[in-house]
Amino acid sequence: MSEPHDRTIQYGNATGGDVVVALDVGGTGIKCGLVRPDGVAVHAERHPTEAARGPAAVVDTILDVAAGLTGMARAGGLTPVALGIAVPGVVDEARGVAVWSANVGFRDVPLRDLAVARLGLPATLGHDVRAGGIAEARLGAGRGAGHVLFVAIGTGIAAAHVVDGAANIGAHGAAGEFGHILVRPDGPRCGCGRPGCLEAVASAAAVGRRYQELAGTPGTAAEVAERAAAGEPVAVRVWQEAVEALADGLATAQALFDVATVVVGGGLAQAGARLLDPLRAALRERVTFHREPRLVAAALGDEAGCLGAALLALDAHGGVSTTMEAR
Amino acid sequence: MSEPHDRTIQYGNATGGDVVVALDVGGTGIKCGLVRPDGVAVHAERHPTEAARGPAAVVDTILDVAAGLTGMARAGGLTPVALGIAVPGVVDEARGVAVWSANVGFRDVPLRDLAVARLGLPATLGHDVRAGGIAEARLGAGRGAGHVLFVAIGTGIAAAHVVDGAANIGAHGAAGEFGHILVRPDGPRCGCGRPGCLEAVASAAAVGRRYQELAGTPGTAAEVAERAAAGEPVAVRVWQEAVEALADGLATAQALFDVATVVVGGGLAQAGARLLDPLRAALRERVTFHREPRLVAAALGDEAGCLGAALLALDAHGGVSTTMEAR
């Protein structure tokens, strides 16, 4: 087991009581911790995923980390009541199977049952963006909105449609692929094979590619945002193109979902007002007979997936307080 | 009250028992009847809407028709237990208010409370396409699918996303505006004011307009479908353009919703295999890592809205059997 990078969010006054062991497994790192039934994280850790070791080794790490957290909780006088794990890709939440995840290397891994066998705790497997979405909708920037679209814009783009605190999973565990909606039929080809996907035009990776293409020098999305704010013409143009594509995508999503609040998270959202202000203006132009949703930055940062994994476990195994808060 | 155009769907063996009075109010006509808790219509009527008379007169007609059906049920030994009304446009289902409906002329009409006051029955107000969607999902072509997208393609285009028998309404009663998602940024301007909406390219009205534009002679969508099947080059091109735009729209919807079944209804769906076969092929081309949904024609025809209005009333006021069937 890799060395934990300890980082405690809040111990509060908890000296006893129930906690959920929660893990958000990404391609690079595992964010994990102990979360109370009211949604407060009382302990947080980070571990590297080291996906290159192969799926069996990653599963071992996940189970070791979960066992370590369970032991730590008990040693501290807390009672671990359930385990929640969030993973990226296609997740069959009903069967608890990580169906397909390119960046973690999973293919049909029955992670829930493996966790139950190892830990002897009831366990729930969820999707990382949908977990982040329910956390933002219940505990973060979408709190009180009822109908929320959580959009994560990073290397890729994905979303979760959350109504009354629950995310739509889809018939095959694949709902929310906001990065793969059509916005530019004549645009660049997406990694998925189709031309014109939103992700191929407006992800952080796409912004970097486009800048390199037009400026002839490299630039990350964060650098492009900064240079655009400073008035550099190529950066202004690249940023504007991304914002307009995102606004087109959000207008399409709003036509279908009619949410009250759009919560924008992920790496690109760290541009803050440099993204949200022009995006809000561009979305306003596109909303005709529809109601314009409130457009806000995510509030939970990269803890959202871990908190959401805990909420999913609480929903499935007896937690009620955070669910009630959402209504 | 206008003369009813009597048309009985099925009397079955019902000589007693509960029924719901159900009305589907459209810009041209009112489809209505008496529906048993198991979803079987035991009586159906049609009346003209005559929307040009103004909203007050239309409301009077709706209430007169509902009162007539209630009286007929009682005279036949049936017990009317609830009233369900479906209307087009933006509908606030929670408050029972027809917020905005261009083709019926409604603007903030508290139709549910007016109906309760007039009839003394519990009443429910719903949206026509969402009502049609839940009927197709529970009783029609989407039966057993769990996650269904019902798409109505006629003069306009709209959809209902139905999960476990319930349609998403949205935060403002405006979810499902599938006609107003972006598919052709350089395409014709839509009636909503934005360029490139699906409705501006692929509705029955758009197909007719495009044919007139390219052929110089008029043609309805049905005629274009027929001429395309006969190999007329302009008709082939126009039909192909519409099919490709619809496939782009469905691919976007599938990325977001991940449904098991797409049910296609509305006037354009009467083209049958001439629409569904090429549309299925074009959608298959566009589905990459996603699962391809089953694409089927609607089964309930233009009775879907009336049956759905009955289901909404049963959901709200004690009907259980059709809800259970959907799970």
Closest-CA distance of chain A to residue B177, Å: 5
Q: Would B5-132+302-325 and B145-298 be classified into the same CATH topology? A: yes
pLDDT-derived band at B290 (thresholds 50, 70, 90) equals confident
**Residue ranges of domains in chain A:** 5-132+302-325, 145-299
Closest-CA distance of chain B to residue A177, Å: 5
User: Which residues, 6+ apart, have CB-to-CB distance to A316 below 8 Å?
Assistant: A82, A122, A124
| Residue B14 confidence (pLDDT) above 80 | no
Q: In what order do the strands lie in the sheet with A106-109?
A: A90-92, A97-101, A106-109
Q: Selecting from 3.30.420.40, 3.40.50.1460, 1.20.1050.10, 2.60.40.420, what CATH number does the domain A145-299 have?
A: 3.30.420.40
| Residue A2 confidence (pLDDT) above 60 | no
The domain covering B145-298 belongs, at the CATH homologous superfamily level, to ATPase, nucleotide binding domain (3.30.420.40)
The verdict on a CB contact (< 8 Å) between A171 and B291 is yes
| Residue A14 confidence (pLDDT) above 50 | no
pLDDT on residue B322: 41
Distances (CA, A) of A314 to A166, A294, A305, B46: 12, 28, 14, 50
The domain covering B5-132+302-325 belongs, at the CATH homologous superfamily level, to ATPase, nucleotide binding domain (3.30.420.40)
SS3 B154: coil
* Gap between the Cα atoms of A219 and A210, Å rounded: 9
Closest-CA distance of chain A to residue B29, Å: 25
**Over the stretch A255-271, which tens digit does the pLDDT of each residue have?**
999 999 999 999 999 99
The verdict on a CB contact (< 8 Å) between B256 and A290 is no
**Over the stretch B156-209, which tens digit does the pLDDT of each residue have?**
999 999 999 999 999 998 999 999 999 999 999 998 899 999 999 999 999 999
| Residue A321 confidence (pLDDT) above 90 | no
Q: Is the dihedral of CA A305, A264, B196, B180 positive or negative?
A: positive
Which of B 41-100 lie inside 8 A of A, CB atoms?
90, 100
pLDDT on residue A324: 36
pLDDT on residue B4: 44
Count CB atoms within 10 A of the CB of residue A152: 27
| Residue A1 confidence (pLDDT) above 50 | no
pLDDT on residue A100: 87
Residue of A nearest to B283 (CA): A194
Report the complex ipTM. Answer: 0.90
* Residues of B whose CB is below 8 A from A183: 182, 185
Interface residue of B92, B99, B107, B182 to substitute, partner A, most A CBs within 10 Å: B182
* Gap between the Cα atoms of B306 and B31, Å rounded: 6
